[in-house]
Structure 1
Amino acid sequence: MSNNTVRAIADRQPLSQTGTKKSEANPAVSASSTASPVTADGVASGVGRDQKQAPRSPRPKAGKKNMSMFLRQWHQRGGLFAFLFMGWLGISGFLLNQSASWGLDAIRVGSQTLMAMYGLHPEVPDSGYKQGEHWLATTTENTVVDGHVLNAHIPSPLGFAAVNIDGSQTLFVATKDKVTVLDTDGRVIDELSDYLLPVGAVSALGTTSSGEDGASTIVVKGERSYTSRDGIAWVPLQDDSAVSWSQQTALSEGIKSQVEPFARPTVALEQVLIDLHSGRLFGRVGPWVINTVGVICVWLSISGVWMMWRANKRKTSARRR
């Protein structure tokens, strides 16, 4: 065959064969077209198979990760809830420890709002004692004589009397174990008790007119009756039928209006601190709130220790690698 004929046959060969020949003639192109597929992380699966990859740290399990986050979140929430209560419990506890030295047990609080929380309201007495133009009434915390409140409360008086001693009116208030001597302004002059009284226990107090001048004398009754003009020297009274014994009587509305300002209840500041510290001041709900705060504090302690233990465990594992 001539050379022209051979060239014509070569030009008629299929393109697939031509492409094969070209690829065989150029091995670099063939290698690149048949390269290994790329994986999702962008690294060829066939590249570096002989090289050892660096070990990766194990990922924490989903359950443990969720538990740690759960504890951390609720630890923060519980701490925020208990913050105010724990602060108040600490302050009130400190004040209670210093109550005696700071005199908090002697301070009285009379706030109407606070008294309403305690369920306390003013209670004006309906009855009292009257002797001439003088009168005496007692409330829960105060003793009022002629509109003057006494510095020292006289609870449960047994009698009230007024006699003229040395030209001036002197008032006597009797209880079971003593007799208090007052002036008309409600100031305490003296207190008669023990050996200053002729009887061991006073059961009644009264007045009687005796002597040529008809002056009134004070009479106390115990095992027997004794009389005195000045409350110092006592003599037995043989017949006490003429004695005008002091008895309770109904108070007028005018007297009640004078007693009302002194009938308002008060509570010791120390007791308020105790009730606030325990939550009893807020009724039935208060103690449960304090109990909840106590449970939360226990929870904070346990969860805090657990999270610290987990953190130390992770640090130790990381150092060993």
Structure 2
Amino acid sequence: MTGFLMSKKAKPFYTKLIRHLREWHRKLGIFAAFFLIFLSISGIALNHTNELSLAHQPINSSWLLDHYGIQAPNDVRFYDDNQLVITNNLVWLEGKLLFESHDAIVSMGKWQDSYVIVTENELYLYDLQGQLIDQLDQASGVPAEISGLSFTEQHIIVNTAQGYFQTDSDFFDWQAISTFAPIPWIMPNNASAQQKHTAVTMFKSQFLNLERIVLDAHSGRIFGMAGVLFMDFVAVLLILLSLSGLYIWVRYARAKR
């Protein structure tokens, strides 16, 4: 008789427990569903990063670039009607990266049917489509310590620590020259604020791609330690939902027997 009364009293406790579990399971499940969908989608994207070319999609959002602390270039210059752009040691042609120099870039410009770019110790020759024609250094006769560039119709002239030198389109012979008239050295063009902003964004975007954003969003690191802890909380929540769901299912299965 006593055992019967204990069973009668115990039954409402389990009934209330199951009812409360179902209620919280449903509410928390709706909240967690959004994160579960996001984690699933971002996880699938990361598993197929090569097929989706995530690593080759640069981020151009100023907010994200600033959020990651990516610094703007110190040197931004425009040449040849602003089609050629220098950002630190990088040269861009019409928004596409042309090349990266290990020396300081001195000047550049369009000469005959090509683009000529000079660094302190090298000369690069590109066609108008941006394909490299030739790369010349001191072993090819290029003077050292170049500080200026100028063109005539037939010659390229450079200013160096040893004086002025010129060469023709064959680039075989660099001759020291002197002149009484001032040489019109190629100088950077003026650029609008929007053009400067675009150049800075081009430079910064190469250090951040979509794969990094998806990976950091998946782990929560995009928002620092707070984001990581929040995603940990979501993971714990999903575990609790799974356990409570299993418990409800087991109780329901036993009740049906």
Into which bin does the TM-score normalised by the smaller protein fall? 0.5 to 0.7
Pair 1:261 & 2:195 matched: no
Cα distance, 1:299 vs structure 2:
0.8
Cα distance, 1:87 vs structure 2:
0.3
User: Residue 182 of structure 2 corresponds to which residue in structure 1?
Assistant: none
Which one of 111, 114, 117 corresponds to residue 172 of structure 1?
A: 117
Q: C-alpha distance in 1, partners of 2:256/2:115?
A: 88
User: Residue 87 of structure 2 corresponds to which residue in structure 1?
Assistant: 139
User: Residue 181 of structure 1 corresponds to which residue in structure 2?
Assistant: 125
Pair 1:152 & 2:98 matched: yes
Greater share of helix:
2
Pair 1:274 & 2:215 matched: yes
Cα distance, 1:82 vs structure 2:
0.7
Contact 1:137 1:259 in 2 (8 A): no
Pair 1:303 & 2:244 matched: yes
Q: C-alpha distance in 1, partners of 2:250/2:43?
A: 32
Partner of 1:172: helix, strand, or coil? strand
Q: Give 2:130's aligned amino acid.
A: V
Residue 299 and residue 197 in structure 1: after superposition, are their counterparts in 2 closer, same or farther (change >3 A)?
same
Q: C-alpha distance in 2, partners of 1:92/1:172?
A: 43
Which one of 98, 102, 126 corresponds to residue 48 of structure 2?
A: 98
Contact 1:217 1:229 in 2 (8 A): no
- Kindly report which structure 2 residues correspond to 1:215-254, keeping only aligned pairs within 5 A, or say none: 215-216=155-156, 229-230=168-169, 254=190
Q: Deviations over 1:118-156 (max 9, x none)?
A: 4568x364565989x9996533796357xx444435355
- Kindly report which structure 2 residues correspond to 1:1-321, keeping only aligned pairs within 5 A, or say none: 58-59=7-8, 61=10, 62-115=12-65, 117-118=67-68, 123=72, 125-126=74-75, 137-139=85-87, 143-144=91-92, 148-154=94-100, 157-161=103-107, 170-174=115-119, 180-182=124-126, 187-190=129-132, 192=134, 199=139, 204-205=145-146, 215-216=155-156, 229-230=168-169, 254-255=190-191, 257=193, 258-264=195-201, 265-266=204-205, 267-316=208-257
Contact 2:91 2:99 in 1 (8 A): yes
C-alpha root-mean-square deviation of aligned residues, in Å? 4.9
Q: C-alpha distance in 1, partners of 2:159/2:218?
A: 51
- Gaps spanning 5+ residues in structure 1: where? 1-54, 221-226, 243-249, 317-321
How many residue pairs are counted as aligned between the two chains? 234
Q: C-alpha distance in 1, partners of 2:100/2:50?
A: 24
What fraction of aligned residue pairs are identical, expressed as a percent?
A: 20
Cα distance, 1:103 vs structure 2:
2.0
Q: Deviations over 1:215-274 (max 9, x none)?
A: 446799xxxxxx9644x7657x8x99x9xxxxxxx978x347443322124342222212
Q: C-alpha distance in 2, partners of 1:100/1:208?
A: 43
